[in-house]
Structure formats: structure tokens, C-alpha cells
Copies of this chain bind each other. A is one copy, B any other.
Amino acid sequence: MTETLRIIPIGGCGEVGKNMTLIQYGDEAIAVDCGVMFPENDMLGIDLVIPDVSYLKQNPDLLKAILLTHGHEDHIGALPYVLPQVSVPLYATTLTRGLIEVKLREAKLLNKTEITTITTESVFEVGPFKIEPFHVPHSIPDAVGYAIYTPAGLVVHTGEYKFDPDPIDGRPPDIERLTSYGDEGVLALISDSTNSERPGSTPSEQIVSEAFEKLFTQIKGRVIVSMFASNISRIQQVINTAAKHDRKLAIVGRSMVANVKMARFLGYLDAPEGMIVSVDEINHHPDHKVAIVCTGTQGEPTSALVRMANDDHRQLRIKDTDTVILSATAIPGNEELVHRTIDNLFRLGANVIYQSLMPVHVSGHGAQEEQKKMLRLIRPQYFIPTQGEYRMLVLHGRLGEEVGIPKENIFIIENGDVVEFDDEGGFLNETVDSGNILIDGLGIGDIGSIVLRDRRLLSRDGFVVVTLAIDSETRELVGGPDIVSRGFVYVRDAEDLLEQAKKRVAKLVRRNKLGPDATTGVIRDSLSQFLYQRTHRNPMIFPMVIAV
């Protein structure tokens, strides 16, 4: 490899560089983040999606460290899967480290992993890189971006940010630091595109605090607030409001409890002594003294909120005096599940407050005006919009043009694309192996496009298996045919159809007297035609011919 600088987003499942971005100089590289994505709706049966690190495995000594920007799943969640493949030291702020440790302990990787705690005062070196974390406000405390000094110039990775003047943790954006990088001269800016479709600025977290305050003042019964388990800032907001209104608070759900415990231990969550109680205990307090925080904003079937909505939670039953607040928006693809959850809560008589009714959630990402502000502060020579889907990158790129970056210096790229910088400037080089690695059960990456295609076909029209035995010499039918079918027709009501199919198969075998392989082909063709004619469906058909 020549001594050039390369910037390569490699993880994000459609959102470029959302989960992982490589910054390489010569034969040494660092990665920013290592997160998971939730599968898209057509990734049937898949649990999680992680970045494809083939490029790092093909170049085993390349990666020197992973820098984490903040403690959300889509930025740290793939560490348990990636570290066994590419074992490198991690750098993270205190809270982010705490949340990582929870994961690595569970995966039995904590002892094997070197983690360095950093602060926004840290300056550290990895290979040819000198790195300065800088503070950014996001929907979790202790989030940072990274200023990465490389021999080719300064690269700034924003992490995920908004310019919230009044964030929950009291730490506004570090404008001074960003300005100073701009003054020094930045070669390339890698910046968060999430909200490039939204004009204006994202409202401050304070409007959520105000909505909570208003609601807690009105509500006479229990208040149940649902949110992402890693939304530590939002949890703090509920704690603050509940404390003011003299309500006890129960944290419900395994991941939520673990995160709150960790964040309190590390001093990132501040609750009055004795205020947080167990779920068992909360049921002994009068309703107007009770608040509950839980997960389930995405309608996840196993979450506490969905169990409550279905009236099958072990410890909590919805009452018609309850108010449920959904403090998050539905991730695209989850709308139906979320709506169903809201409907079911209403059916149980609860009042439900969600974003279309009141500002009980705001995004953690800056909108267009903030994105332009970032661009104006950093004034980069080159601009690489990342952490968004393609259209968001395009729109973010346009904002770059608006603030004066030449169009040819803006790279709208996809995962695996390599932006390379040599003496003459930045250009798009060849791509590296990259894609989505799908996790299903214990399997990492063994489910590819073929298995997914089969699952898709099976989900549409099911399958039909016909089994029969033929005598290997006479080729006479000696057993069967039997049929098993699922997902195609309701077998009990379709006895006639399946009986006819069997007769057809038996006749075919008797008439043709072919060997097993030829018989298989003949049966498949004949049956698929017959079944389509009768049903206009195309089940997968598998004849299994045993020669005995």
C-alpha cells in the first residue's frame, strides 16, 4: 500500500458508515464505532446486522484501534461479534465504556479486551494518528466526535450530534473547539446526515422536559414512560420530573435495568436516595405516587410495554387511569407494530401520549441548519456525508454546496467505497469488500442471499414435499406417495387438492418408470403446473424419491 489516506465507511445496512468507518493511512488504520443495525423487514428471521469486516480480515495487521463515539447500540453493539474476528484496543469515554463493558462481560470478552478511558481533554496516538475527542450533545451523555490528525491532514468525524444549547447533561456543544479545528484547516469532514431531510434546527431536549412537566402536573394515575434502553438523557428527564412530583420510579426490563445501574454507578444518572424502587415495590405505592420507565417504543413483542399492552406482563397490568408516554419515534419499518401497541393500550383504557399528540420526544440529531453550522465551523476542504441513507447523504451534500464547498469535493458514497487522498487531492478509488453480515441465532454470516430468498418464497406460498419409494430395479412404486405441505393451503380444507396431487404423482411414476432423478424432475414440473392452475400460488415443490 502506498502512503495515502483512505476513508472507508463499511457498516450500516443501507445507512452509509452508520456503524463503522475506517480511517487508514498507509498500512495502519483506526475504526470509528462498531455498531449493529436492526434487520430490514425483508431480512426474514434475522436477529441483527453487523458490519462486514472482510477487508480487515484480509489485511490482518491493518486495524490498530476502534474509537467509539457514544454508547448506543448502533455504535457499540457489534463489538461482541467483531472483536473475536479482529482483536484490537478500544477507546471510549467513561459512560460509553461502562455500556461496552456490560456487553463484553456477557460475551465473556471483557478480560481479553484492552479499553482506554478517554475524556474530551485527552490527546492520544494510535499508529500515525494523533486523536482528540471533542464533546458533542446527543441523546446520551458522554458522546464525542473525533479530530484525527493524519500525515495527510486533519480529519474530523462528528459522531452523532445536535447543537442543543440546553442539553440535559448541562454540556452545550464545544463551539470553540470546532472553530479552532476550522482555523487550523480541516482536510475532510465526516458528518452525521440523519436529519438532512428536516429543515431548521432540532428542538432542544428542554421541550421534552416541559412536556413531561405538563403531563406529570395533570396526570392523577400512574405514569409509564417508554423509551430506548440506552436513552440515558431521557431517563434523567423522567427522574427529574418524577422527583419533583414526588413519585417513586421503577425501571422495567433487563437492558434498561442494566444500563441504569451502570449509568448511576458511573455518575451519569442522578436520582434522589430511595426514589428508584423495584417493580414489586412500586405496586405497593398509590398510583399518583408512581412512575415507571420501560422499553417497547418500537413495538418489540418481548418488551415490557408490549407485554403490558397485550395484558400479559407478569408484574404490571394496565389500569384505565394509567397514562403511557411513548418517548421515541418509530424506526421506519416498525410503524405497524408501534401502532398496534398504542391501539392495544387504548383498548385497555389507558391514555396514550405519543409524538403526534405532544412533543414527548425530540431527535438527537441536528437538522439542516445545524448541519450547515457544523460545515461552517469546520470549513473542510472535502466533505463526506455519512450516517444516513443515500437520499440523506445527497441532501446533506447539497447543504455542503450551499455553504461553499465545491461539488467535486463532496463525496456521496456507499459502504465499501474508498475516498483516497494523495498529493493531488481526494478521489474515489476502488471499493473494498463490504456488506451486511446477518446474525441469526448462533450463525454469524451464514445466512446469505440464497437462504433469504428461500425464506421469502416460503413466506409467500409455503412448500409441498412429496415422498415416495420406487423399486430400484423394476422402478415400480413401492411406497407413498405421501405429501406434507405447510404455508401453501390449509391442509384440512384442501384434502381434495392434495389427494388429486398424490394420484397425479402415482400415475406419473407408473407411466414413466424412470430412475429417481428423472422422476424428481417430472414430478416437480407436473405438480407445480397443477397446483398453480388450481390456486394461482407457487409453493416450493420438493419431490423426494427413495429407491429401495
Contacts and interface: CB of A to CB of B under 8 A. Distances in A.
A61 interface: no
A460 interface: yes
Contacts of A447: 489-490
Interface string A129-163: 00000000000000000000000000000000000
Contacts of A389: 339, 343
B489 A45 contact: no
B548 A443 contact: no
| Interface of A, helix, strand, loop or mixed by DSSP | mixed
A9 to B, nearest CB: 15
Interface string A343-379: 1101100001000110000000000000000000000
B537 A443 contact: yes
A198 interface: yes
Closest 4 CB pairs of A and B: A441-B536, A459-B459, A479-B546, A45-B460
A12 interface: no
Contacts of A14: 340, 343
Interface string A475-501: 000111010101111100110000000
A391 interface: yes
Interface string A419-454: 000000000000000000000111100111011001
Contacts of A198: 356
Nearest to A393: B346
Interface stretch (A185-193, A280-288, A464-472): A464-472
A341 to B, nearest CB: 10
Interface stretch (A66-74, A100-108, A209-217, A329-337): A329-337
A461 interface: yes
A62 interface: no
A391 B343 contact: yes
A181 interface: no
A535 interface: yes
A487 B332 contact: no
B458 A487 contact: yes
Contact of A465 (B44, B465, B479): B465
A546 B484 CA distance: 13
Interface of A: 14, 40-42, 44-45, 197-198, 332-333, 335-336, 339-340, 342-344, 346-347, 352, 356-357, 389-391, 394-395, 440-443, 446-448, 450-451, 454-463, 465, 467-469, 478-480, 482, 484, 486-490, 493-494, 534-537, 540, 542, 544, 546-548
**How many monomers of this chain does the complex have?**
2
A544 B484 contact: yes
18 contacts: A45-B487, A332-B335, A332-B336, A332-B339, A440-B461, A440-B537, A441-B461, A441-B537, A443-B536, A443-B537, A447-B489, A458-B487, A465-B467, A465-B484, A467-B467, A469-B479, A484-B544, A548-B548
A490 B548 contact: no
Nearest to A488: B451
A342 B340 CA distance: 27
B486 A454 contact: yes
A430 B95 CA distance: 56
Nearest to A486: B454
A543 to B, nearest CB: 9
A447 B459 CA distance: 13
Nearest to A390: B343
A32 B484 CA distance: 43
Nearest to A332: B335
Contacts of A336: 40-42, 332-333
B346 A394 contact: yes
Given A391-B346, A465-B544, A482-B546, A455 B487 contact: yes
